[in-house]
Structure 1
Amino acid sequence: MRQGRDNGFQAPLWRAIAVYRIAALTYATILVVRNVAHYQRPVLAWPVVAVMLAWTVFTTYAYANPVRRRPPLLIADLLLTAAALAASVPVVGRQALEEGKPTLAVAWHVAPVLAWAVAGGRRAGITGALLMGATDLIVRAHRDQAALTGSVLMLLAAIAVGYLVRIAEVAQERLQRAIELEAATRERERLARDIHDSVLQVLALVKRRGAGLDGEAGELARLAGEQEAKLRSLVAARSVPADGDDGTDLMTLLSRQESPNVTISGPAEPVRLPPGTAREIAAAVAAALDNVERHCDPGTRVYILVEDAPDEVVVTVRDDGCGIETDRLSQAQAQGRLGVAQSIRGRIEDLGGTVAIVSAPGQGTEVEMTVTRLT
């Protein structure tokens, strides 16, 4: 059961249960007053009503605090209500019950079932309804249509309330995510304005002033231009959240690598994968780009292609750089340099995928990473 917390929407449900319990107690008391003369032990009816009244007051107070909505209180609620229902046998009498006289806890005994449904959802509500329904049928000692209909209606009410609670929880979670996303978007826009008014303008100025210079000044201008482009790409990156109910969008993660020298192509729709899988693929792509940056000439073009098939996702990283000499990867691994072996191949193989590397000196390198979707 999901006790001990209040999701905002639950408070009105608990107040509704309290109102129902009071109304049901009023109805049960009226029936006792009307039928007490026909009871087998009429004097004992009033102590039972007094206990029901005291328990109604106590549960109205107890359930008002989310901290107290725990299994001990819920179980005690069910047991005491069942005891009040069972007291109908010695008080009302077996013969009167068989003739159709109402029990002492008529309608009032549904309240704990509703409490179980709100606290624990459909399964808890069904469990409470079955237990209380069985008690009601045993006490009535007859299985006519009216008795069975009452138990069935109580079961249906528990299912409906439990389902309503689940729908409300999902709606509350989605609303919370929407609020967080809106807040993050506003903060992102504020940061984008600050960056545009400061850092981007400085980088653009350095790029323009040093574009025609030679030596380190020209190299510094080129680097400033690259960083300006990367920063603009980051600021203008997708506003769609990477994480969703159906996984993490791989394209959103990869878009952070886009720059003047890195082009990313893929489906227009999000490529949803389990969060761990998407992040490992993105890390492997980042490792491939790092190899290009470290081993190839500045300005080497890199192309990232994402293919989303029903049963697998293929990510290809291709560059037009210097390429890799024959046996260079095996030699690097033997020397303890495990960049490709662990950062790329190891990550993908841990996901159950495969890595194919095609390269030749002077002809660039192509790294194809294939990961099978788990069904």
Structure 2
Amino acid sequence: MSVEQPLWQALTAYRVLTLLYALGLCVYAYDDYDHPFGAVVYMAVLTLWTALTFRMVSSAERCTRRFLVGDLGIAVAGILLTPLVDNHDRIAEGTPTLPSIWTMGAVLGFAIKGGWRWGAWASAVVCAANVIERGTFAQDTIHMLMLVWVASVAIGYVVEVARASERTLARALRIEAATRERERLARDIHDSVLQVLAMVQRRGAAIGGEAAELGRMAGEQEIALRTLVSTGLVTPPRGAADTAPDPYGLPGAADPSDSPCPPGPERSDGAPCDLRALLAPHAGSRVTFSEPGAPVLLPAGAAGELAAAVGAALDNVRVHAGEGAHAWILLEDEPDAVMVTVRDDGPGIPEGRLADAEAEGRLGVALSIRGRLRDLGGTAEWISAPGQGTEVELTVPKASAKRPAEKAEQKEKGEAAR
């Protein structure tokens, strides 16, 4: 709903209430009018106009310029008609005009529709009509007209500020959505294409000959693609890259989140998914997987993202710890969170290396691991010392992991309703 919509709803109610007030004044002063029939005719016209245009002030789209001009014309006509139906003494005493405070609704319509400039213009017209009706610049008239002018200008200015804030918020939300989508695509690219290119480069250099030239070209493409990912100029990939078998026993470019949860308690439709089923395929000759005896349930989307982060951590073990390194995966189900620890016996990570890698465009840690955990409301911590291996602790709070699944379910229900 637009930020100004409550103002239109309030204006609709204001017109009805002020009409009832003006009718009450007309009935009360009926015997004091010089020409009461004229007052009754005008009030009938005002009532009919308010009833027929009730929906015109319900939104900015329905409230057109033509209607606003007509509405202001009805109000001004009532002000100028007052000296013809009422006596001069009552007018000199400052008795209300025929439309009374209903006139303010016409002015506020201009202010809400067009801002403070439209409100000031409409207020000036009403002020001129009131001066003509009184025939003099009486003090009470000036006070009332200043109140109308200040109120309309203030409300018009507030509406303009609200519209500008709404546009700024919408722009910020679009930027945030685009940034999240770019990070997601960058993670997918890192987990697939970049891993394959890096593998081709290493294997080509090891084989030599024409394969070495192919590896060199793959390395150049990897650098170019990493540059695109780091600068955000990434075209959404529509296909998964093929992955070659890895003799180390770790998954290659495949994203564990692409694998559907098995039937039963593990579901891929947003229902709880057993994280053990997604992490078990990582176990191999050089990867030891330790799990609880009971299912570790998370929403399918959160479980897939956490499993993908574990896969990215194991990819780093394969690339940086060497072929002879051993890795351990420990899955823990805490009361409020799920924790996965990936540890290896490699050479460790030198201090500052992760920051340097991110600056160079190597976003495996920044996007494939930290980015995924951040989106889930979790954390990723590295504990490493030179020569003592590396330990990565991935923690996902259960409460925050449920929110993406709930939002997805609500979105599906909304689409089904449409």
1:100 Cα offset (Å): 2.1
* 8 Å CA contact 2:107, 2:123 repeated in 1: yes
Out of 57, 73, 77, the position equivalent to 2:67 is: 73
Please name the residue that 2:19 is paired with: 25
Confirm whether residue 54 of structure 1 aligns to residue 48 of structure 2. yes
**Matched ranges for 1:246-265 at <5 A:** none
TM value normalised by structure 2: 0.53
Please name the residue that 1:210 is paired with: 204
SS at match of 2:2: coil
Please name the residue that 1:179 is paired with: 173
Any gaps of 5 or more consecutive residues in structure 1? 1-6, 240-257, 261-375
1:43 Cα offset (Å): 2.3
Q: Which amino acid aligns with 2:205?
A: A
CA deviations on 1:70-109 (whole Å, 9 max, x unpaired) are: 2111111111111122111111133421232221111111
1-side partners of 2:227 and 2:172: how far apart? 24
Please name the residue that 2:93 is paired with: 99
Confirm whether residue 42 of structure 1 aligns to residue 36 of structure 2. yes
Out of 170, 189, 193, the position equivalent to 1:195 is: 189
2-side partners of 1:72 and 1:85: how far apart? 20
SS at match of 1:106: coil
The percentage of aligned residue pairs carrying the same residue is 40
1:34 Cα offset (Å): 2.3
Please name the residue that 2:162 is paired with: 168
* 8 Å CA contact 1:92, 1:103 repeated in 2: no
1:215 Cα offset (Å): 5.8
Q: Which amino acid aligns with 1:68?
A: R
Any gaps of 5 or more consecutive residues in structure 2? 234-358, 362-418
2-side partners of 1:59 and 1:10: how far apart? 19
Out of 83, 89, 113, the position equivalent to 2:107 is: 113
Confirm whether residue 9 of structure 1 aligns to residue 9 of structure 2. no
Confirm whether residue 124 of structure 1 aligns to residue 124 of structure 2. no
* 8 Å CA contact 1:98, 1:142 repeated in 2: no
1-side partners of 2:199 and 2:134: how far apart? 89
Q: CA RMSD in A?
A: 2.3
Out of 222, 244, 253, the position equivalent to 1:228 is: 222
1:181 Cα offset (Å): 1.9
1:165 Cα offset (Å): 0.9
Q: Which amino acid aligns with 1:133?
A: C
1-side partners of 2:89 and 2:19: how far apart? 24
SS at match of 2:29: helix
1:65 Cα offset (Å): 5.0
Q: How many residues align?
A: 236
Q: Which amino acid aligns with 1:14?
A: W
Q: Which amino acid aligns with 1:229?
A: I
2-side partners of 1:66 and 1:168: how far apart? 14
Q: Which amino acid aligns with 2:197?
A: L
